[in-house]
Amino acid sequence: AQTVTQSQPEMSVQEAETVTLSCTYDTSESDYYLFWYKQPPSRQMILVIRQEAYKQQNATENRFSVNFQKAAKSFSLKISDSQLGDAAMYFCAYRSASGGATNKLIFGTGTLLAVQP
Amino acid sequence: DAGVIQSPRHEVTEMGQEVTLRCKPISGHDYLFWYRQTMMRGLELLIYFNNNVPIDDSGMPEDRFSAKMPNASFSTLKIQPSEPRDSAVYFCARGRQWTSSEPQYFGPGTRLLVL
């Protein structure tokens, strides 16, 4: 079974600085998708960024980018120019691309990010 | 806006009562998911539907939980009878075919407290 591990329960960053959140996963599959979701205090789950495993190029969305290392099964999230609104819980998630009964997201335990003014 | 409406947003009930959570996804998505989030267990999938048919309900904790999707724009999650350990935030999410990287889009959640 696939698992997702986020080893940093909490992180802190100064406003305007850069922070990297770690995520590792375990799978025997070669084709899958990876996601980062943000959950602010409102509890809404918001998609931050996604990555297809077959793509070597790291995904980027404005100030958010990932470092995807397939061989190492690592999928870290980098937030540049951190803003107060980035303060939230961040979840890494895995989804198989093989279909069938594996269309569910498997989540890590989350990293709580604090942004200091 | 994730295109998923959940109601109620907050629910407080007493142990033993029936609780019904509702989800209205916008049309055009084949998949509908119910998740539960607790401090102890994190985010866990309870059940998901494809074209209104339940596909995987292995995450449903016990017989007290049931879910239905009578049409593409409406789903319910029912707990009967409710227990204090059911207190959690329940999310509904929509998605398309699994062959793409299109993510699941989550509703705002229902915060359930069972006293």
- In chain B, which residues have their Cβ closer than 8 Å to the Cβ of A107? 42-43
> For A52-109, what is each residue's pLDDT tens digit?
999 989 999 999 999 999 999 999 999 999 999 999 999 999 998 876 555 688 999 9
- Ranked by mean pLDDT, the top range of A43-47, A97-101, B14-18 is B14-18
Interface of B with A in 27-66 (CB under 8 A): 31, 33, 42-43, 45, 48, 50, 55-56
> For B74-99, what is each residue's pLDDT tens digit?
999 999 999 999 999 999 999 876 66
- Residue B64 in this model has a pLDDT that exceeds 70: yes
- How many CA atoms within 13 Å lie on the side-chain side of A31? 9
Answer whether A79's CB lies under 8 Å from A63's CB: yes
Answer whether A66's CB lies under 8 Å from A58's CB: yes
Q: How many CB atoms lie within 10 A of CB B14?
A: 11
Nearest in space to B49 (alpha carbons), one of B112, B92, B111 = B92
Strand partners, B50: B31, B53
Give the C-alpha distances (Å, rounded to integers) separating A80 from A9, A83, A88, B70: 20, 9, 15, 45
pLDDT of residue A100: 59
Mean pLDDT of A7-22: 97
- In chain B, which residues have their Cβ closer than 8 Å to the Cβ of A51? 101
Ranges of beta strands (E only) in A1-117 are: 3-5, 10-14, 19-21, 24-26, 32-39, 46-52, 60-61, 64-69, 74-79, 88-96, 106-107, 111-116
Q: How far is CA B21 from the centre of its chain?
A: 7
What mean pLDDT is reported for chain B?
91
